[in-house]
Structure 1
Amino acid sequence: MDGFARALLAWFDRHGRHDLPWQHPRDAYRVWLSEVMLQQTQVRTVIGYFQRFVAALPDLGALAAAPLDQVLALWSGLGYYSRARNLHRCARLCIEHHGGELPRDLAALSALPGIGRSTAAAILAQVHGDRHAILDGNVRRVLARVHGVHGWPGASTVQKRLWELADTHTPATRTADYTQAIMDFGATVCTRARPRCTECPLSNDCAALREGEVARLPTPKPGRAIPERATTMLIVHDEAGRVLLERRPPTGVWASLWSLPECSAETDIEHELARRNTRPRGERHRLPELLHVFSHYRLRITPLRLQATPAPGHIADGDILRWSTPAELASLGLPAPVRKLLGML
């Protein structure tokens, strides 16, 4: 075990996180679920979602047997919904091809939907103590600063160098603790903004600190202007107070989630509602604009509230369109801005 690993483990024993809900018990299903939830999401946000998820779907078999709508509803608010769809697909593949378990082989586990090399390594290291290096965002930041690695970590040559360093430092003993230690350290000490360098056990060997490069490492992704889009969302109520929902296509933004009908402008409302066999009536009420920021663009949402009546004899198709009561909304997978809009009413 090298000095880097020894220093991190000594820090972890005193300051690391030892009581996270997926650590007790620390089985493959719970660790896998937590690792997927923690992609692009902080621990304090994940804890509540994790607890609700495992209360409803306590094991891989339960997840595989659950309808996708239930999985998306439990995920609603965490964002990046492809992660939830991949969890569901992965569980079903494990039932079909891996005896109802997550495979212990790194290559087989990495090949499953939404897992990949680093997540697979984190699962095997934490559950079984297998010696596999991880390279999530926290680890990339720590290694880039300590070793003074310049260049955007997404570039192939930089990524290759960081994987080499990650493997060099991963010890053959206490691998599970080391894996948790380096993730915790990056999340709480070697943070992206305002790192706590005076408390860092690696500060004497940190190239970024020595060269005054802490704020510039890791090198950010080359910037580009974030485009902006606009849409009008229709909050359509019937006489019973139900709201009209429409399932999103199976690919693209918010894939397979229930959302509100959309149109490009107010002048298109009549046409868009007619396509859904619904007739508007009464006044329309424009609500305050809502801005929702994705990783690759910003969406300006203009909400319009109105009443409508289903065409005579029309029954919404439960797979594409549905009229939902306020009580039913909690059990559906809805995009965060849609849930926010409906919750405000």
Structure 2
Amino acid sequence: MSDSFANRLLRWFDRHGRKDLPWQQALDNGQRDAYRVWLSEVMLQQTQVATVVGYFDRFVGALPTLEALAAAHEDTVLALWSGLGYYRRARFLHRAAQLCVERHGGELPRDFDALNALPGIGRSTAGAILAQAHGLRFPILDGNVKRVLARYHGIHGHPGESAVEKQLWQHAEAHTPGTRVADYTQAIMDLGATVCTRARPRCDACPLATDCIAHRDDLTAALPGRKPARSIPTRATVMLILRDASHRVLLERRGPQGVWSGLWSLPEASDPNEAWRVARQYAHIDDAQALAPFTHVFSHYRLAIEPLLFDRATAARGVADNPHWRWCGVDELDALGLPAPVRSLLLQISDAGRTPAASLRTN
């Protein structure tokens, strides 16, 4: 290894790197399990390691192999993913596993192009799997790596811009060593996550600081460039909580498009008046209670949620026969893929001591 960048990073990793993460466990042949590496890489998109570890352990505890994931029902996969957000990742993971069973003998392919062609696996994720599971020389470029390289080389502009990303890929390729590729891949991700952080980077602890342009020119706050700011709109919705005498709640499976697609959620309406009309389609109701409103923030908009509780509802005829509707008790929620704010709301109202914020009589 002649690249001092990689040498210094690996020496730092030997002393300070993370080596006990659950997806780093070696198999009998000394290599890591490609399935576990893949799962961790997908979970770590948009999510920090500290959050991922618990979800990862629960997921592989229930679905320990790629074949088990491929054979699982979508509800099981989404329930295990519930709370991690960006649920399209889970659906892509599920579909990719099924394709591996259909086309690749139940294993993740070791060919880069075949791996990159699977749903939800892009260039960086494919490289990370091949580097960490098989020791093959492929570069990666996740968010942490982009930040390290942009600062080290003094690259201005938002990393999402094609010209900037092209430069970063060139540097990622040039720095990736021919040996200890798995360690190097983990090292550069660790450096970005623990030292070269977006806010208050610890340059005094960085093995690359002596040659880092951002450190030299006092540009760590400016690099990498931020995505151009844009206003985030707010949308409003009324969530209907139809609860029967057995304290079961009516859930609706959302369609294949839009936010929370494929998850079980609460019926919605545009305003309280429409909520009564919608509620009467699915149950016989007498009154409603307005619970405290709250806001859930997505990456591209805010959702202002007004929960409306219809207690002692009686199911209307035909609802039980529809596969996209189901009455569920609190003890059944863990087996379903639910959006985090919906799960939290249902758990809150299951508390017998909770008092609704207001009450609305039949209208």
Q: TM-score, normalised by structure 1?
A: 0.98
Question: Conserved in 2, the CA contact under 8 Å of 1:270 and 1:279?
Answer: no
What is the one-letter code of the residue matched to 2:64?
P
What is the one-letter code of the residue matched to 1:4?
F
> In 2, distance between residues paired with 1:318 and 1:82?
24
Is the aligned partner of 1:331 residue 2:332? no
> In 1, distance between residues paired with 2:47 and 2:116?
21
Is the aligned partner of 1:105 residue 2:111? yes
What does residue 15 of structure 2 align with? 14
Of the three residues 281, 293, 296, the one matched with 1:292 is 296
Q: What is the DSSP-based 3-state SS (H/G/I as helix, E as strand, rest coil) of the residue aligned with 2:238?
A: strand
> In 1, distance between residues paired with 2:193 and 2:321?
46
* Alignment of structure 1 residues 117-196 onto 2, 5 Å: 117-196=123-202
Query: CA RMSD for the aligned pairs?
Result: 0.9
**Identity among equivalent pairs (%):** 65
Q: After superposition, give the CA deviation of every residue in 1:56-99 in whole Å (9 maximum; x if it has no partner).
A: 00000000000000000000000000000001000000000111
What does residue 306 of structure 1 align with? 310
What is the one-letter code of the residue matched to 2:285?
P
Question: Conserved in 2, the CA contact under 8 Å of 1:152 and 1:220?
Answer: yes
What does residue 217 of structure 2 align with? 211
Q: After superposition, give the CA deviation of every residue in 1:6-63 in whole Å (9 maximum; x if it has no partner).
A: 0100000000000000111321000000000000000000000000000000000000
Is the aligned partner of 1:267 residue 2:265? no
> In 1, distance between residues paired with 2:267 and 2:342?
11
What does residue 55 of structure 2 align with? 49
What is the one-letter code of the residue matched to 1:285?
Q
Q: What is the DSSP-based 3-state SS (H/G/I as helix, E as strand, rest coil) of the residue aligned with 1:215?
A: coil
Question: Conserved in 1, the CA contact under 8 Å of 2:242 and 2:279?
Answer: no
What is the one-letter code of the residue matched to 1:86?
F
Q: What is the DSSP-based 3-state SS (H/G/I as helix, E as strand, rest coil) of the residue aligned with 1:95?
A: helix
Is the aligned partner of 1:79 residue 2:85? yes
Structure 1 regions of 5+ residues with no counterpart?
none
Q: After superposition, give the CA deviation of every residue in 1:148-170 in whole Å (9 maximum; x if it has no partner).
A: 00011111111100000000000
Q: What is the DSSP-based 3-state SS (H/G/I as helix, E as strand, rest coil) of the residue aligned with 1:214?
A: coil
Q: After superposition, give the CA deviation of every residue in 1:286-320 in whole Å (9 maximum; x if it has no partner).
A: 11111111000011101111122112x43424521
What is the one-letter code of the residue matched to 2:85?
G
**What displacement does 1:279 show?**
2.0
> In 1, distance between residues paired with 2:322 and 2:106?
31
| Cα distance change, pair 285–200 in 1 and its aligned pair in 2 (3 A) | same
Of the three residues 274, 279, 303, the one matched with 2:284 is 279
Q: What is the DSSP-based 3-state SS (H/G/I as helix, E as strand, rest coil) of the residue aligned with 2:230?
A: coil
> In 2, distance between residues paired with 1:293 and 1:317?
34
What does residue 359 of structure 2 align with? none
Q: TM-score, normalised by structure 2?
A: 0.93
Moved over 4 A (4+): none
Is the aligned partner of 1:321 residue 2:325? yes
What does residue 4 of structure 1 align with? 5
**What displacement does 1:176 show?**
0.7
What is the one-letter code of the residue matched to 1:186?
G
**What displacement does 1:250 show?**
1.1
Question: Conserved in 1, the CA contact under 8 Å of 2:330 and 2:347?
Answer: no
> In 2, distance between residues paired with 1:315 and 1:251?
22
What is the one-letter code of the residue matched to 2:158?
W
Q: After superposition, give the CA deviation of every residue in 1:162-221 in whole Å (9 maximum; x if it has no partner).
A: 000000000001111000000011000001111101111111101001111101110001
Q: What is the DSSP-based 3-state SS (H/G/I as helix, E as strand, rest coil) of the residue aligned with 2:288?
A: strand
